[in-house]
């Protein structure tokens, strides 16, 4: 039973524009959410996170928004750069649990 | 070496072979994880070790056997695998307490092909 879903397997965006990646979850016990970025032949690397007590967290060009009532979060990348081309995974954890549940990933391609 | 390393990076094995995957973390973390990533699927958590004790085994077939001899090293022993076991196997580590314990650090993975 997949508790974290990324329904868009791919996204193509022009350099300089905004990339919006979406993630939905079903487990109401999730209280911490993370985004990971993965390049080919490398492991995923942590990008940004958000606690359930917040609805927005910003780090440079990356902003994560959380809508708890809709069980939905999104990652905004603005402006998108060619180096942002990668697979992005959404992940979530329950209260006081260090195990993560991952989505299937969204492949972002930034066009020059 | 820094971060999380995995060897080998690529492995091709027959269904009757026995091989092992190795993971080493240089971050001083006290939890280590094995994940399986198949194409277009979520990362599947296989095993978790916390303070060298196995705390999670997600119904993984017995042909996969983990070993954690100390907090820095993690192995995945493989025997009589099936072609559907072909995937990217990722190792990760993290703390298990404190403010950033959800943040897992991943190795580059081992691309396994079972023929």
* B-proximal residues of A, 58-97, CB under 8 Å: 89, 93
What pLDDT is attached to residue A69?
96
Q: What is the dihedral of CA A63, B45, B22, B31, to 10 degrees?
A: 70
pLDDT tens digits for range A24-82? 999 999 999 999 999 988 899 999 999 999 999 999 999 999 999 999 999 999 999 99
* B5 and chain A in contact, CB less than 8 A: no
B90/A45 Cβ within 8 A? no
Distance from C-alpha of B105 to C-alpha of B4, rounded to nearest angstrom: 7
pLDDT tens digits for range B34-61? 999 998 788 999 999 987 777 777 789 9
Residue position matching structure tokens 């081309």 = A85
For residue B111, the chain A residue with the least C-alpha distance is A41
At residue B99, does pLDDT exceed 70?
no
Question: Hey, is A12 helix, strand or coil?
Answer: strand
Q: Which residues of B touch A45 (CB under 8 A)?
A: 106
Contact of A1 with A99, CB cutoff 8 Å: no
pLDDT tens digits for range B5-23? 999 999 999 888 899 999 9
What pLDDT is attached to residue A58?
97
What pLDDT is attached to residue B51?
75
At residue A96, does pLDDT exceed 80?
no
* B96 and chain A in contact, CB less than 8 A: yes
B31/A32 Cβ within 8 A? no
DSSP label of A78 = S
What pLDDT is attached to residue A64?
98
Distance from C-alpha of B21 to C-alpha of B9, rounded to nearest angstrom: 9
Confidence of residue B1 (pLDDT cuts 50, 70, 90): low
- In degrees and rounded to multiples of 5, residue A73 shows phi and psi of -135, 160
Q: List the single residue in A99, A101, A104 with the smallest CB-CB distance to B40.
A: A104
Neighbours of B61 (CB within 10 A): 11
ω into residue B8 within 30 of 0, thus cis?
Answer: yes
At residue A109, does pLDDT exceed 90?
yes
DSSP label of B9 = S
pLDDT tens digits for range B100-112? 567 899 999 999 9
Q: Which residues pair with A63 in a beta bridge?
A: A58, A76
From B33, B38, B45, B42, select the one nearest B82 (Cα to Cα).
B38
- Give the side-chain half-sphere CA count within 13 A for B57: 12
What would the mean pLDDT of B82-87 be, rounded to a whole number?
A: 94
């Amino acid at each position: 039973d997949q508790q974290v879903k990324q329904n868009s397997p791919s996204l193509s965006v022009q350099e300089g524009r905004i990339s919006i990646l979406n993630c939905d979850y079903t487990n109401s016990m999730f209280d911490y959410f993370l985004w990971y970025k993965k390049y080919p032949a490398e492991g995923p690397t942590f990008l940004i996170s958000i606690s359930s007590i917040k609805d927005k967290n910003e780090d440079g060009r990356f902003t994560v928004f959380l809508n708890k009532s809709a069980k939905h979060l999104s990652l905004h990348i603005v402006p998108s750069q060619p180096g942002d081309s990668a697979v992005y995974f959404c992940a979530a954890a329950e209260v006081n649990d260090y195990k993560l549940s991952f989505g299937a990933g969204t492949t972002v391609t930034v066009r020059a | 070496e820094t971060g999380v390393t995995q060897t080998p990076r690529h492995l091709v094995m027959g269904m009757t072979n026995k091989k092992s995957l190795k993971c080493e973390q240089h971050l001083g973390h006290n939890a280590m994880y094995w994940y399986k990533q198949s194409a277009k699927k979520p990362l599947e958590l296989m095993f978790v070790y916390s303070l060298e004790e196995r705390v999670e085994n997600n119904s993984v077939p017995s042909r996969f056997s983990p070993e954690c001899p100390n907090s820095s090293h993690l192995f995945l022993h493989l025997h009589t695998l099936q072609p559907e076991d072909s995937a990217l196997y990722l190792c990760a580590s993290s703390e298990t307490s404190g403010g950033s314990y959800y943040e897992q650090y991943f190795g580059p993975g081992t691309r396994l092909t079972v023929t």
